[in-house]
Amino acid sequence: MKAVIDGRVFEAPGKTTILEAARRLGLDIPTLCDHPRLEPAASCRMCLVEISGRRDPVPACATVLEDGMHVATDTPALRELRRGVLEMILAEHPSACLVCADRNACREPKEGIRKTVEPTGCVLCPKDGRCRLQDTAAAVGLERIVFPEAPRSAEPRRDDPLIDRDGGLCILCGLCVRVCRDLRGASVLTFVGRGGRTTVGTALDLTLLESGCLFCGACVDVCPTGALLERAARHVRPDERKPLLCALCGEGCLLQAEFDRGRLLGTRPAPGPANRGQACVKGRFLVADILGHPSRLTGPLARRDGTLVPVSWPDALTAAAAGLRSSDGPFEAVGSAQDSCEDLWALHELGREGFASGRFSIAEPPSPLEVIRKAAGVEAGEGWPDVPNAGLAAMKTILVFDEDLPVTAPILGLEVHQAVQQGARLIVFGPGESCLDRCAKVRVRAGLESAAEFLLEILAGLARTAAGPGHPGRAELGPAARMKPEESSRAERAVFKEKASRAAVILEKRKPAAFIFGPRFAAGTQGRRNAAALWNLARLTGAVLIPVAWEANARGAQALFGGGGKNGCEGAPLPAAGSLLLAGDGPPPPCREGAFIVVAAAYESGALEAADVVLPRTLFAEQDGTWVNREGRIQRMRAAVPAPGEARPLWRMAVDLARAIGSGGPSASAAGEILAGIEKERPSFAGASRAWPDEKPVFLSATAVSRTGFASVPEAGECSAAEEGSRDPDDVHGLRAGAVLKSLRAVRRR
Amino acid sequence: MRLAHPGHLADWRTRLREEAPAFERTIVVTAGTCGRASGAMPLIEALRSEIDGQGFIGRIGLLITGCHGYCEAEPSLVVQPEGYFYGRLKPSDAAEIVAAAGTRGRFVERLGYKRKPGARPVRRLADLPFYRKQHRRLTEAHLGLDPERIEDYVLRGGYGALAKALFEMTASAVIEAVEASGLRGRGGAGFPTGFKWRIVRNAAGHPKHVVGNADEGDPGAYMDRGLLEGNPHAILEGMIIGAYAVGASEGCLYVRAEYPLAVANIRRAVDQARDCGLLGENILGSEFHFDVRVAQGAGAFVSGEETALIASIEGRRPHPRPRPPYPSESGLGGRPTVINNVETWANIAPIIDRGPDWFASVGAKRSRGTKIFSLVGRVRRTGLVEVPMGVSLRDIIEDIGGGALPGHTLKAVQTGGPSGGCLPAASLDVKVDYEDLARAGSIMGSGGLIVLDDRACMVDVARYFVGFAAEESCGKCAPCRIGTRRLRDMLDRIVAGLAEPADLDRLESLARTVQAASLCGLGRTAVNPVLSTLRYFCAEYKAHIEDRSCPAGVCRDLLSYAIDPGLCTGCGLCRKACPAGAITGRPRSPHAVSGERCVKCGACADACPPDVKAVRIGRAADGSPGPRRGRRRP
């Protein structure tokens, strides 16, 4: 395919729109309604271009470049047309910021009558200076507007949390409606009315909250004007932007932190490799609040005469080292799957080498992937290939177990929605409601204790039709499928079976398939049974396994230490610890009466009551570190936000403690040195030191699984009790960040 | 009655013919929406009881049909076989008509149509001036069948073309026949139908769809309604043949919800056809499967645009999307889709039945066949008119429509509704043909003809149509949504006498921008009324702007009312009629209008006795714009 745009030759294989091609040639075509991840709407009419041989100009965003086309993007007629269209748009939009004669002078900070220096700015618009419409007007060269101003009269709506809506600034580009419906699958925003009275609103004019909005903020980020705006970021003009890796869940979104004179204003999604420009309510709106929370610990504390008093770092380290050294019984370091690889590794080293009888554990229950590995009998170091988010679009069937994906794994949720839009069939299993229900082909409303039954029913259905050696036998199919017969009626069982057979038909016809499951699926007494059944079905159908990780570094912790739980001492019964270093926010492990407890915490919380020494720690954005996201993508990041007070990274505490104790253990002066150590000892982390978001992506490496047989599915009830997933996925290092979200969601459900 | 073999259809027809009741006379009452609105239902009741009461049961039949076109004369009826026509009837006329029909088919002179008062009435329908120059192919059947009975359609040879297509022709032969006929889309754009079908036939994707577009939104146009109400099976048969030709298995008929009778008739027709095995699996025993559903619009003009129509059928907001891809490649559900206007579909069965040559035997060079127009406005006879393509507008308006109303002169004709243009009386010799109309600055459109006489202000007409487009714009693209409103604002200013000479250029350049930059046909053509009136009636615009006067005396803000003291008898009628209390004067002495208080409603002029006519309407003497109500000054 070869075409000419503005006299320059463009050559590319495959389909390209004129807009894409022009941008690749470095030509600037003004647009107001295009988005790289959305189908073109061609509604703003700014990108009109001329094609020789065609009478009318065509929109560049929606026109596919054809072989031999001659395109002109910047002719006098087009300039006139664009100016005409923009004039029309600005006739309905306040335009003082564009055409006021004093607009430049008034942006200067001025001495006001109040004797304080205040920016007078254009008081009208909360987005002045960050506005795509302003940029477009500058690009088109519009200087005056002939039409009388006829603003769209609309009262600003401020009745929602986080987001303000001002219809008066809306230019109806439709980006918010399209991103909400087509990309996020929420369909909260829509067009209302027709003709000149068209507005963007919600069904029945409810608030966003009542309409089921998840506050992902995608609409705010695409809005070219100030019509949709983050309430906390009105009238701001960031002077500095830094990349930041969100560690509030397992998705590993790249964000952009915006600062004003060193103060973190907020974050917005960046086009990172995992999230590709999207985020969720936590990453979009809550990072600054979580980092700057008033209950953050800013200095070390030590217990003197029964009360915790502030001390200096050297004093705290001395006190901690003395206490740890003198206590009898084994030492235990507890980390969290939210921590970076470096933090976990340093704690692990401290437990392993700093003490004669030391150990290291992770507060969270074992990762679901680990449960499946064990159920399937997969060797250590072996693993399945990971599916990057972009790869989900190729899936023809997607089976989701009890995960409200738009909430627990927002990026995965939107990728699933995209795949469904492109024709994938969705099967949702779980007791609760999920945002994905409305696009599910099969919806099974049952608890996870019946998940194995459902899977075995599908397996039995497939086994009846499948022939050949790759065929599960009696033992693999497990005991005859039954769904808690004492609790379910005949009709319920019939529905259950019918849904399983429908799912079997879909799975048989539409390949490839992906199975998505989370910590709850593999937790509890049924975990092993569910896992074995899922593995067998994946074996039979060739489906890929996609575990949902609630914690930011769950995959990393699993790759480092083989899952969560009491990993340092698998097999041996746990003796009660004599001294503890608590860095995870789960329930503390058993310890002896009078044990010495050092707590490394970010927030004031109940855990501090038992502490002898409290060390303030930094959080994800405040320290260098490496996280492995749900996809198995290794991501290294530099500190973006200054640490509060004297807080230090966890790995540095471990290093300092080892030095203070005077024994072996971690020694490093930078996080990168620890990462180098990990790379040496853990082959799955090969290349991790090159894993910057802007470099070539690095995934956890694993050798292919050698085991080929089916797993034997245990009888219901015979599995040993495992820890329940007790942690709230929305909580961050002990901060009840989830409470805010819970209240939002409670209102939504009502 | 399920037809599982083509022979069954012929057998059925024979049987129906044998079983048909042998009435001496049949009274045919046209009861489309227009007839019912004018009182056809009470008339039918009266006729029925008269036939009963006068003892003519079994001798005089009553046939209730759809609209036959002559809406002006509704409620009307025709007594067959003589073809006697009676129009503008009252239920009380029923007795006389039944009695006359019962006595050897006598004609009731009193109720006959008269060209002018006192003239001899025209007896037969075919001799009426309204019908004489028409060439009725599609609408002729309306007078002979009850749209609620599939039997009537079959009896007249209905579904014979379908049997012929299915069992005697290959799908490509059907497309060739349609191509050879030269049939072009009747919805307005005039795309060759056969060619469109061929694209869909060759497009990849399954299942394919056919869609009948009956979202007829043009003000004053109701051709589609006439067809749907009068002969729904003809449309259905065309769609089934089309589906066979392109290989479609699903069909949808999109009817605007404002046509309840049409929706009811087409729904009933679809059910009847399905019961008879003419829809569904193995149609007439062939290997061909096809079914149709009826979808209703929710009252949006833009839904007639094909991509918006698809969105509406799919349950989304009717927003047009950019083309390509055209629906013939990616339409309903992303599948190849044929979208044709119902009038196009109605033409298919006759083409297959009688052959493409018969179809092409009338018409203009590049526009073959006949076209239905709805002739409305300031013309003596209004209604649905079917004429061969290529006749002149003058033929339609003067010969069929009878020309301007007495005492007035023809000024312009608006063709194609709000998307079309106004052609001046001097251009009436232009042929109705897609290309000729476009050259004259208008469009064929779906067939609306609105006749305007000397009482119409062309600026006001343009303002009305642009205002319609502004209201009906879907709001998606900026030029249409905002541009049409700004055009209307400018025209508002012109009719209010607030415009300045430079505004005329601004008006035209804004209209050109909207035309070039809009996303879909609605916006692109919404400016046609403005551009065509600017082209042909520029003097009228200038009069509004430069002289601040409205030559037609329509634009209220430019009028002034005065009472000629020499003529006024002082009767006081105008004073009583004035709602603003602007008229003062003592009884039997000349009255006067206060310019300050006058709201220019015209009530005084209407109240003034015709033999006095003392109220003078003229442009404001001082040239000042006069008082405004609710309009902002610049």
Bond before B121 cis per omega within 30 degrees: no
Q: What is the mean pLDDT of residues B421-426?
A: 93
Domain count, chain A: 3
Q: What is the CATH number of the domain that holds A388?
A: 3.40.228.10
Decide if pLDDT at B160 tops 90.
yes
CB contact under 8 A, B322 and A63: yes
State the pLDDT at residue A571: 42
- Residue from A289, A554, A532, A539 nearest A408 by CA: A554
Alpha-carbon distance of A579 to B366, in angstroms, equals 97
Domain count, chain B: 5
Could you tell me if residue A731 is inside a domain?
Answer: no
Alpha-carbon distance of A149 to A111, in angstroms, equals 32
Could you tell me if residue A180 is inside a domain?
Answer: no
State the pLDDT at residue A589: 77
Which range among A108-122, A138-152, B356-370, B570-584 shows the weakest confidence by mean pLDDT?
A108-122
User: Are B536 and B579 contained in the same domain?
Assistant: no
User: Are A392 and A494 contained in the same domain?
Assistant: yes
Our separate counts of H helices and E strands in chain A read 22, 31
User: Are B69 and B154 contained in the same domain?
Assistant: no
What is the pLDDT of chain B when averaged over all its residues? 92
Q: Which of B505, B521, B546 is the last residue of a domain?
A: B546
Here the ipTM equals 0.87
Per DSSP, the three-state class of B113 is: strand
Name the burial class of residue A325, with classes exposed (0-12), middle (13-18) and buried (19+) by CB atoms within 10 angstroms of its CB: middle
Contact B480, B519 (CB under 8 A): yes
Q: Which of B430, B453, B476 is the last residue of a domain?
A: B453
Could you tell me if residue B10 is inside a domain?
Answer: no
Alpha-carbon distance of A671 to A341, in angstroms, equals 9
Could you tell me if residue B246 is inside a domain?
Answer: yes
* Interface residues on A facing B, Cβ-Cβ cutoff 8 A: 40-45, 48, 56-59, 62-64, 80-81, 84-85, 88-89, 91-92, 146-148, 150, 171-172, 174, 190-191, 193-198
Give the nearest chain A residue to B480 (CA atoms).
A195
User: Are A340 and A412 contained in the same domain?
Assistant: no
Give the nearest chain A residue to B321 (CA atoms).
A41
Decide if pLDDT at A569 tops 60.
no
- Residue from B335, B364, B487 nearest B432 by CA: B364
Could you tell me if residue B84 is inside a domain?
Answer: yes
C-alpha angle with apex B170: B166 to B174, nearest 5 degrees? Answer: 85
Could you tell me if residue B260 is inside a domain?
Answer: yes
Tens-digit pLDDT profile for residues A24-49: 999 999 999 999 999 999 999 999 99
Chain A partners within 8 Å of B324 (Cβ): 64
* Residues A267-298: b if buried by 16+ CB within 10 A, e if exposed: bbbbebbbbbbbbbbbbbbbbbbbbebeebbe
Could you tell me if residue A394 is inside a domain?
Answer: yes
User: Are B32 and B112 contained in the same domain?
Assistant: yes
Could you tell me if residue A725 is inside a domain?
Answer: no
Q: What is the CATH number of the domain that holds B603?
A: 3.30.70.20
* Residues A154-182: b if buried by 16+ CB within 10 A, e if exposed: beebeebbbbbbbbbbbbbbbbbbbbbbb
486-505 in B: which are within 8 Å (CB) of A? 486, 489
Alpha-carbon distance of A411 to A272, in angstroms, equals 12
User: Are A526 and A565 contained in the same domain?
Assistant: no
Tens-digit pLDDT profile for residues A456-515: 889 888 877 655 455 666 666 666 555 455 556 778 888 888 999 999 999 989 989 999
Chain A partners within 8 Å of B509 (Cβ): 84
User: Are A608 and A662 contained in the same domain?
Assistant: yes
Could you tell me if residue B375 is inside a domain?
Answer: yes
User: Are A423 and A394 contained in the same domain?
Assistant: yes
Could you tell me if residue A289 is inside a domain?
Answer: no
Could you tell me if residue B280 is inside a domain?
Answer: yes
CB contact under 8 A, B477 and A190: no
Tokens linked to A395: 């899936």
Q: What is the mean pLDDT of residues A528-540?
A: 89
Give the nearest chain A residue to B513 (CA atoms).
A81
Which of B300, B485, B519 is closest, CB to CB, to A45?
A: B519
Which of B472, B482, B510 is closest, CB to CB, to A92?
A: B482
Chain A partners within 8 Å of B320 (Cβ): none
User: Are B194 and B329 contained in the same domain?
Assistant: yes
Q: What is the mean pLDDT of residues A550-555?
A: 90
User: Are B177 and B310 contained in the same domain?
Assistant: yes
C-alpha angle with apex B302: B298 to B303, nearest 5 degrees? Answer: 50
- Higher-confidence residue of A744 and B573: namely B573
Tens-digit pLDDT profile for residues A329-375: 888 898 989 999 999 999 999 988 888 788 888 888 778 888 888 88
Could you tell me if residue B264 is inside a domain?
Answer: yes
Alpha-carbon distance of B467 to B449, in angstroms, equals 19
Could you tell me if residue A673 is inside a domain?
Answer: yes
Decide if pLDDT at A720 tops 60.
no
User: Are A341 and A381 contained in the same domain?
Assistant: no
B257-B261-B267-B271 Cα dihedral, nearest 10 degrees = 170
Tens-digit pLDDT profile for residues B196-249: 999 999 999 889 999 999 999 998 899 999 999 999 999 999 999 999 999 999
Q: Give every CB contact of residue B173 below 8 A, 6+ residues apart in sequence.
A: none
User: Are B356 and B237 contained in the same domain?
Assistant: yes
Could you tell me if residue A416 is inside a domain?
Answer: yes
Q: What is the mean pLDDT of residues A166-185?
A: 93
Residue B262 domain boundaries: 150-360
User: Are B516 and B572 contained in the same domain?
Assistant: no
User: Are A449 and A519 contained in the same domain?
Assistant: yes
Residue A56 domain boundaries: 2-118
Q: What is the CATH number of the domain that holds B540?
A: 1.20.1440.230
State the pLDDT at residue A117: 55
Q: Which of B384, B418, B453 is the last residue of a domain?
A: B453
User: Are B389 and B498 contained in the same domain?
Assistant: no
Per DSSP, the three-state class of A689 is: helix
User: Are A403 and A311 contained in the same domain?
Assistant: no
CB contact under 8 A, A89 and B482: yes
Could you tell me if residue A37 is inside a domain?
Answer: yes
User: Are B208 and B318 contained in the same domain?
Assistant: yes
CB contact under 8 A, B479 and A147: no
User: Are A497 and A375 contained in the same domain?
Assistant: yes
At A236, is the pLDDT very low, low, confident or very high (cuts 50, 70, 90)? confident
User: Are B292 and B209 contained in the same domain?
Assistant: yes
State the pLDDT at residue B624: 43
Could you tell me if residue B101 is inside a domain?
Answer: yes
Q: What is the mean pLDDT of residues B303-313?
A: 95
Q: State residue B79 phi and psi, 5-degree precision.
A: -100, 120
User: Are B307 and B158 contained in the same domain?
Assistant: yes
Say yes or no: B511 contacts chain A, CB-CB below 8 A. no
Q: Where are the beta strands (DSSP E) in A150-225?
A: 163-165, 190-192, 199-201
User: Are B168 and B311 contained in the same domain?
Assistant: yes
Alpha-carbon distance of B27 to A370, in angstroms, equals 86
Chain A partners within 8 Å of B308 (Cβ): none
User: Are A405 and A530 contained in the same domain?
Assistant: yes
Q: What is the mean pLDDT of residues B343-356?
A: 96
Chain A partners within 8 Å of B510 (Cβ): 84
Contact A581, A350 (CB under 8 A): yes
In the block, tokens 């339409």 appear at: B331
pTM to 2 decimals?
A: 0.90
